[in-house]
Amino acid sequence: MIKRLVRSVQTLLTRKPRIRRTPRCIPASEHGIDRALVSRSAIRTCETLQAAGFRAYIVGGAVRDLLLGVAPKDFDVATDATPEQVKSHFRRAIIIGRRFRLVHVLFGSETIETSTFRALDNGNRDTDEHGRVLADNVFGEQHEDAARRDFTVNALYYDPTRQEVLDYHDGVRDVRRRRLRIIGNPEMRYREDPVRMLRAVRFAAKLGFEIDAETREPIGRLADLIGNVPAARVFDEMLKLLTSGHAVACIERLRAEGLHHGLLPLLDVILEQPQGERFVMLALSRTDERVRAGKHIAPGFLFATLLWHEVLAQWNARTATGAHRIPALHEAIDHVLDVQTEKLAIHRRFTSDMREIWVMQPRFERRIGQMPFRMLEHVRLRAGYDFLQLRCDSGEAPIELGQWWSAFLHSGPDDRAQMTQPPARGEGNATPSGSKPRRRGGRRRRAGADAAAGSAPEPRVAPTDDGA
């Protein structure tokens, strides 16, 4: 405790953030931002507040992306108007947040997150014993707000009316040098909000930036501070990291910065099991492809891939002691979800999808009789099938199992009926190794043939479209 206190005092005394009260104003002729890439809703938000006598700017990652010539996914606005004043000038606006009060200004399906300039620490901020800020709604000046932002490339303000960029910390220079540099003392800033370490990795991987040496140095030492962050915040940041379109690069960066061990249990699982790593990296690479192609991705499917090998290990351990196979799978799933949701607050709607995808996997092994036809009616058939294909492609499941299901889903009723009949005596077994076809009476066999001929529904899956 005493050592920690001494180190904290030394950190505070060694370096304070450089506060520049007057920004460098960069005109359109120099910054080169294409106004066509700027959201019309963000422009309207700024213009409305400016017309009411307030200052208002597009801020943060949107400005950084505009300087890189990339269309931002979302836009944030910073202003000297209080949340109540912002809300009063828009027909559809709501105040949110407790730790940081913000206003969501709504334009149809687009939301412009609007924040009030924050003041620098004056000793009144509520922090925990590690220095993490618990609440901070003290409003201040723009230069204070800029000094409080995490990285220089995110501390940029764009006025869409004058088309000027205000730069307090040489962020434009860092964007052009493709360098990620934290504002102020790195250790102090990470202690204020440990999630900044994850953000550093995500930005570096996504943008292809190098992390500045001083910014990088404390990360390995302070990785354990992530454990003090609420699980919901860690989940949100991890979801951004894994769905950034650069998930593979992010995982590699986490390893390079020493954030993989002890940071998140699921990352330890990924990186310490060779077969699990192959499976997960294949899933993440396909997810990256879908994100870059602008296709939908399902977080439930993604987290199902991340935790599958932990479920598999628990399942094998239970069956090895003589437990029945399917009840053992349900017990393994319950155990893994109980452990993980304590440390990583995965939303309930995602855990429901994950459970269904996992439970479907042993059902794919039953290819004789009515089970394949019942699978056609399953609402998660597409996700379950794509998950099976990942298992086959990574070498975990027999490749012929995935081929059989691809053929079954593309076949007509007559071919499906033939494919699900028991093999003739002496022709071998159509079921996977280690399982026996159940003997069925003539009446059930005839019922199965009738269903295959006319009543089996068409599959709801597009086998070539990965569900990740």
pLDDT tens per residue across span 111-137: 999 999 999 866 555 666 555 555 567
The mean pLDDT of 398-410, rounded to a whole number, is 96
Catalytic residue among 80, 136, 145, 150: 150
pLDDT surpassing 90 at residue 143? yes
Which range has the worst mean pLDDT, 256-270, 361-375, 398-412, 449-463? 449-463
The mean pLDDT of 80-100, rounded to a whole number, is 93
CA distance 52 to 340: 48
Q: Name the residue among 314, 20, 297 with its Cα closest to residue 143.
A: 20
What's the pLDDT at 426?
57
Q: What is the CATH number of domain 21-177?
A: 3.30.460.10
The full set of domain ranges for the chain reads 21-177, 299-424+441-455
The CATH topology of domain 299-424+441-455 is cca-adding enzyme, domain 2 (1.10.3090)
The mean pLDDT of 247-252, rounded to a whole number, is 89
| pLDDT, tens only, 194-208 | 999 999 999 999 999
- Terminal alpha carbon distance of the chain: 46
Q: Residue 166 — pLDDT band, cuts 50, 70, 90?
A: very high
What's the pLDDT at 433?
42
Decide whether 21-177 matches 299-424+441-455 in CATH topology. no
* Residue 277 vs residue 218, higher pLDDT: 218
Catalytic residue among 65, 76, 136, 145: 76
Q: Decide if 174 contacts 153 (C-beta within 8 A).
A: yes
Q: Residue 4 — pLDDT band, cuts 50, 70, 90?
A: low
Concerning whether 76 is annotated as a catalytic residue, the answer is yes
Q: Quote the distance between the C-alpha of residue 28 and its chain's center.
A: 34
Q: What is the DSSP string of 2-14?
A: HHHHHHHHHHHHH
What's the pLDDT at 464?
40
Q: What is the DSSP string of 242-302?
A: HTSS-HHHHHHHHHHTT-STTT-HHHHHHHH-HHHHHHHHHHHHHHHHHHHTT----HHHH
| pLDDT, tens only, 264-292 | 666 676 667 777 888 989 999 999 999 99
